[in-house]
Amino acid sequence: MTNDVLPAARAGLHRPVRVRRARPEDADALGALVADVYVRDGLVPPTSPYVAELRDAARRVAQAHVLVATVPGEGGAEEVVGTITLAPAGTPFAEIARDGEVELRMLAVRHDARGRGVAAELVRAALAEGAATGARGAVLTTLEAMRTAQRLYERLGWVRTPERDWAVGALPMLVYTWDVPATPGARTEAATWPPVRVERVGPWHVGLSHGFTQRANSVLPLGVPDDLAAAVNAVEALYAAAGQPAVFRVGDPGAAPGLGVELDARGYDAGSVTDVLVRPDVAAGAPVALPPGVALAVADAPDDAWLGTWVASKGGRQDVGRRILTGAPAAYLTATDGGGAPLAIVRAAVADGWAALSCLQVAPAARRQGLGRALTVAAIEAAADRGASRAFLQVEVENGEARALYAGLGFVPAHRYAYRRQPTGGDAGTC
């Protein structure tokens, strides 16, 4: 699974920040940036041999995962303003990572780009990458002098772990760790979005819902079939009979190891990449007020206005949409203006103690007024009233606006998967 662009739109920035994987051609600019930042901040003496290592970004790009934060520069060309390096345990740049951990190193933001949340976006993107590669936790080392960075890590949920502190000569190295939170898992996720029909192919669940949403029209490859190629053939036959392309959800633990290679060989597309974000508790935070003149209604079933708003954005059959949604207990929230017209909707289903948030939509003319945030908070509360103790949601990696909203509400990356589609055309839509 590859995805090159990890957008990180930030409010308050006159130039939006994007985070993406570094390419070999970024190496010179990156190396200069990191060496300059560390020397100018007084973290490394200019004569230290470590400066040459900081400058050698080409080796890092080749041997580790390096992310860069960029802003649009003169004439539209992008300008690199920050970077971070991820080193999974056992790889050349990992100094202290243990099995199952990814180590974050060499975080640096150019001086003229500071104070705008670039470092937070880099760390969040690094955690999402780490979770995507199946890491169970992350670890990093800081120096006493890196106080600003330490405040940032603590704000993002990192925990000081003094028992793992170490030293370089007489210089103390302070260690922080971060645990990837538990995920609901594909079965619980599916229970909150049940397909109209599920067929079994060995251990796999084949969802069929007249093509309405990828989630309800894809295979959960839960386990390893006896004959992988024969199982994929059987799946393709089921979808062909329904007049749809086959779609597989890939990236979950326990799925057949050779599935990705098999789908590559059959020409399946690289897939839309989705992160599962988790909020480990539903405790009420600071109250979030609705904008003036906006009313909020909470119901146990979607009314026609709610459903019409949602289905209109997907372009499918309303009866199928209703059937999928009402297959699981859920709260449906609608924000309306003074005249009763819907401005925003969201759904909070509940399964296995999890709140599953979905279908958040704010009318374009009503955006950036706090409605998305207020509805998300209200949906979590509605799910808590219905028995949920933690929350999750799925968001495409490219949806920078929504990711920024959720990050601000304490959602953190826990898992990543992709939907891979048979090359026969058709658009099942996503939510």
Binding site for ligand COA (CB under 6 A): 9-11, 360-362, 367-373, 395, 399, 401-402, 404-405, 408
Closer Cβ to ligand COA, 139 or 402, answer by number: 402
Select 191 or 360, whichever has its Cβ closest to ligand COA.
360
Least distance between ligand COA and beta carbon 314 (Å): 11
Q: Which is nearer to ligand COA, 10 or 110 (CB)?
A: 10
Closest approach of ligand COA to the CB of residue 10, in Å: 6
Beta carbons of 383 and 231 less than 8 angstroms apart: no
Question: Which one, 322 or 373, has the nearer CB to ligand COA?
Answer: 373
In the bound complex, what is the minimum distance in angstroms from residue 427's beta carbon to ligand COA?
17
Query: In this complex, which beta carbon is closest to ligand COA, that of residue 201 or of residue 366?
Result: 366
Least distance in angstroms from the C-beta of 272 to ligand COA:
12
Between CA 329 and CA 317 the distance in angstroms is: 21
CB of 370 to ligand COA, least distance (A): 4
Q: Are 175 and 96 in contact (CB under 8 A)?
A: yes
Residue 144 pairs with which residues in a beta bridge? none
Minimum CB distance to ligand COA smaller for 181 or for 372: 372
CA distance 36 to 44: 10
- Backbone φ and ψ for 285, nearest 5 degrees, come out as -95, -150
Residue closer to ligand COA by CB (options 85, 192) is 192
Q: How far is the CB of 402 from ligand COA (least distance, A)?
A: 4
Residue 421, phi-psi category: left (phi > 0), alpha (psi -120 to 50), beta (remainder): beta
193: amino acid identity, one letter: W
When the beta carbons of 321 and 372 are compared against ligand COA, the nearer one is: 372
Distances (CA, A) of 322 to 302, 325, 326, 339, 379: 8, 5, 6, 25, 19
Closest CB to ligand COA among residues 330, 360: 360
Asked if residue 190 lies in contact with residue 209, where contact means CB atoms within 8 angstroms, the answer is no
Three-state DSSP class for 215? helix
DSSP 238-256: HHHHTTS--EEEE--TTS-
**Distance in Å, CB of 184 to ligand COA, minimum:** 15
**Least distance in Å: CB of 105 to ligand COA?**
27
The residue whose Cβ lies closest to ligand COA is 372
The amino acid sitting at 224 is: V
The CB-of-298 to ligand COA minimum distance in angstroms stands at 18
Q: How far apart are the first and last CA of the chain?
A: 20
Q: Is 353 left (phi over 0), alpha (psi -120 to 50) or beta?
A: left
* Spatial separation of the C-alpha atoms in residues 158 and 140, rounded to whole Å: 9
**50 phi and psi angles, rounded to 5 deg:** -65, -25
Q: Which of 215, 251, 244, 247 is nearest to 359 (CA)?
A: 215
CA nearest neighbour of 216 among 6, 419, 424, 7: 419
